[in-house]
Amino acid sequence: MIRLANVNKVYDGKYALRDINLTIKKGETLAVIGGSGSGKSTLLQLLVGLIRPDSGEIYIGGQEITHLSEKEMDKVRLNMGMVFQYSALFDSMTVGENVAFGLREHRKLPEVKIQRIIKEKLDLVGLHGVEKKLPSELSGGMKKRVGLARAIAFEPDIIFYDEPSSGLDPITTVKIDELIVDMQKKLGVTSVVVTHDMASACRIADRIAMVYEGDLIAVDTVERFQQIEDERVQAFFKILHTEKTERDE
């Protein structure tokens, strides 16, 4: 379970996040949606302990993290998988080396076991026989899959996704969304997906949280979220419907 209580983060005298109260249940997928500069990345950075709030508390699995030392935070992070925007793979390493990177850094495992984990995680994300390839030999969608395989190598309880569909065409986006849902079903992980894509959010999430200029303005199930009359929420659905109409014409 993840919980934020009265969390504030200020940059240059301006709230990046203001009085955020949010609980993410174990095993649920929460999509955090919002426009540019609304505070989504700040929220993600707070949850993985890359930055600290100016005030408020953040609990990960019952542990309050805002006062942890870097070393203690590293331990908490071992239980978190992170899937970065644009995959963030090491270009000079093979796919297999990328997937095993964290394992080799943090766990002393025999090479046979590492090879087995690489294969198992790549299989889970639907990639076969690519261990020896370099990231430059893969499509954008495949790179995202490798990023996900790396994130689940440690078998984390929580996966954070930062704009998983950025840079992908609409069809590949849907496939990655299906993979995120699949991961939740197969691994039972808690997922937080930061996105500005409402269509993705609706496909992936159990609940959607919307941030607007640093405020958390709505949190609800996908179905109920669509009924919220707030015009800032509806603006996102309008874009969605316009895109759909344009595609159908």
Instruction: Give 12's DSSP letter.
Output: T
Query: What is the closest distance, in whole angstroms, from the C-beta atom of residue 41 to ligand ATP in the complex?
Result: 3
Q: Which of 24, 29, 30, 41 touches ligand ATP (CB under 6 A)?
A: 41
Binding to ligand ATP (CB under 6 A) within 10-39 occurs at: 11-12, 16, 34, 36-39
Binding to ligand ATP (CB under 6 A) within 206-245 occurs at: none
Dihedral sign from CA coordinates of 139, 144, 150, 154:
negative
**What track of x and - describes contact with ligand ATP for positions 147 through 186 (by CB under 6 A)?**
----------------------------------------
Closer residue to ligand ATP in complex, CB, 85/172: 85
Query: What is the closest distance, in whole angstroms, from the C-beta atom of residue 214 to ligand ATP in the complex?
Result: 7
Work out whether 53 is an interface residue with ligand ATP (CB under 6 A): no
DSSP-assigned states of every residue in 123-174:
HHTT--S-TTS-GGGS-HHHHHHHHHHHHHTT--SEEEEESTTTT--HHHHH
What does the alpha-carbon distance between residue 157 and residue 192 come to, in Å, rounded to a whole number? 11
Closer residue to ligand ATP in complex, CB, 122/176: 176
Beta-carbon contacts of residue 194 (< 8 Å; ≥ 6 apart): 31, 32, 40, 41, 43, 44, 160, 161, 162, 163
Beta-carbon contacts of residue 200 (< 8 Å; ≥ 6 apart): 31, 164, 165, 173, 177, 193
Q: Which of 7, 22, 30, 42 touches ligand ATP (CB under 6 A)?
A: 42
Site residues (vs ligand ATP, CB under 6 A): 11-12, 16, 34, 36-42, 196
